[in-house]
Amino acid sequence: MELVCCVCGKVKRNDEWIHAEIEKNTLLSHGYCTKCMNVALSEIEEMKKEQNKEDTQKDVA
């Protein structure tokens, strides 16, 4: 089983994220590498802020 970053396609090997060839018939598990996880988390934070803004506006209206 290989853990593959669904954003940049890097593969986790020995706790490091590297660009590597994946052999055929390998079971893949998709996730986020450290870098893309941080990007995704900050995007989620931004989205939450936007949603909070919208919710507040709805409450006012």
> Which residues contribute to the site for Zn ion (CB under 5 A)?
5, 7-8, 33, 36
Nearer to Zn ion, 18 or 47 (CB): 18
Whole-angstrom distance, CA of residue 27 vs CA of residue 29: 7
CA distances from 11 to 26, 37, 47 (A): 12, 14, 27
- Residue 19 CB, nearest approach to Zn ion (Å): 10
Nearer to Zn ion, 26 or 34 (CB): 34
25: three-class secondary structure by DSSP: coil
- Residue 29 CB, nearest approach to Zn ion (Å): 14
